[in-house]
Amino acid sequence: MSLFELGFIQVTLVDIIDISIVSYFFYRMLLFLKEARSIQLTIVMILVFGIGFFAFWFNLSMIKWIFSNVFLVGVIVLAVLFQPELRGALSKLAQTRFVRYIIKPETKGTIGAVVAAVSKLSDIHYGALIVFERNVKLKQILESGKPMNAHITSALLHTIFTPYTPLHDGAVVIRGDVILAAGCTLPLSQNTAYHRLHGMRHKAGVGATEDSDAVVVIVSEETGQISYSVDGHLHRDITSQELEKILEEYFSQGK
């Protein structure tokens, strides 16, 4: 059943859905091409798609035959040329709220890796700032650091926070089981109650949780003491076992 007519064309609900999906696809594709490295290649791609569209619209049989037979090869070539961009696009797709709702990231291994690393860092008095991103995105904090997009492991965290390495003074930001960035700068707490704290790590750890729902784990370089901050409040001097239970409460049970 048609909803309305445009001249001799009858438009149905299925047609509207079909057009909407195709339009969104081309919109996202154009955004992707706009961010690609080669502007010349982007222009060529647009021209090729334009020629293909007119060929099928006006039923140009020879051009249609060429497009139909080289389409698969073209897709493979594009996948090779745009491999870094495609990887980044798929990474962004996997981090969207809808996809994360359907496929919840594994946090058990993440918590274990963090606790193991924090325990070692505490024993040898290596300072650390570990930020767990939750629902509120930490865009500004991420932009202040160095992108990593690396699967989290205890050894990697230990390496990052080893003194005199380039990233050891900043914070790492974790989303799911991925370290998004390292060497990040956190905002200092505006709460006067924490102004007399020794060391900048604790002030920064609290500051990162005052305007977000992040959970921040802090290891003191001076004392080796383990602390964590959430909702703008600092909880000091906890054991690694207590830290594991706290993180499981916030993530495994969706607190």
Pair 215, 250: CB distance under 8 Å? yes
Return the pLDDT at 199.
73
Among the ranges given (30-39, 41-50, 68-77, 235-244), the one the predictor scored with the smallest mean pLDDT: 30-39
Reported as a single tens digit per residue, the pLDDT across 1-28 is: 555 555 556 667 776 777 777 777 767 6
Rounded to 5 degrees, φ, ψ at 88 are -65, -40
Give the residue with greater pLDDT, 146 vs 6. Answer: 146
pLDDT above 90 covers a percentage of the chain that reads 40
Q: Residue 9, Cα to own-chain centre: how many angstroms?
A: 44
- The pairing of strands 128-132 and 171-175 is parallel
Residue 178: helix, strand or coil by DSSP? Answer: strand
Highest mean pLDDT among 25-29, 214-218, 230-234: 214-218
Give the residue with greater pLDDT, 28 vs 189. Answer: 189
Among the ranges given (80-84, 129-133, 172-176, 227-231), the one the predictor scored with the smallest mean pLDDT: 80-84
Q: Is the pLDDT of residue 182 over 60?
A: yes
Q: What is the 3-state secondary structure (H, E, C) of 21-87?
A: HHHHHHHHHHHHHHCCCCHHHHHHHHHHHHHHHHHHHCCCHHHHHHHHHHHHHHHHHHHHHCHHHHH
Q: Tell me the average pLDDT across 221-235.
A: 93
- Closest-CA residue to 215 (of 237, 241, 244): 244
Reported as a single tens digit per residue, the pLDDT across 88-99 is: 555 555 545 555
Residues 91, 176, 151, 217, Cα dihedral to 10°: 140
Pair 26, 46: CB distance under 8 Å? no
Query: What is the largest distance, in Å, between two alpha-carbon atoms of the chain?
Result: 80
Q: Is the pLDDT of residue 103 over 50?
A: no
Beta carbons within 8 Å of 171's beta carbon, 6+ residues apart: 129, 130, 131, 141, 145, 182, 183, 184, 185, 186, 204, 208, 216
Give the residue with greater pLDDT, 186 vs 9. Answer: 186
Give the residue with greater pLDDT, 82 vs 59. Answer: 59
Between CA 219 and CA 116 the distance in angstroms is 13
Q: Mean pLDDT for the chain?
A: 79
Q: Is the pLDDT of residue 239 over 70?
A: yes
Return the pLDDT at 8.
54
Give me the residue label for tokens 């109650």. 193
Residue length of the chain: 255
Strand partners of residue 132: 174, 215
Per-residue pLDDT band for 189 (boundaries 50, 70, 90) equals confident
Q: Is the pLDDT of residue 100 over 90?
A: no
For 1, which DSSP code? Answer: -
All domains of the chain in start order, with CATH? 2-101 (no CATH), 105-251 (3.40.1700.10)
- Give the Cα-Cα-Cα angle 195, 201, 202 (nearest 5 degrees): 50
Among the ranges given (66-80, 175-189, 221-235), the one the predictor scored with the smallest mean pLDDT: 66-80
Q: Tell me the average pLDDT across 224-234.
A: 93
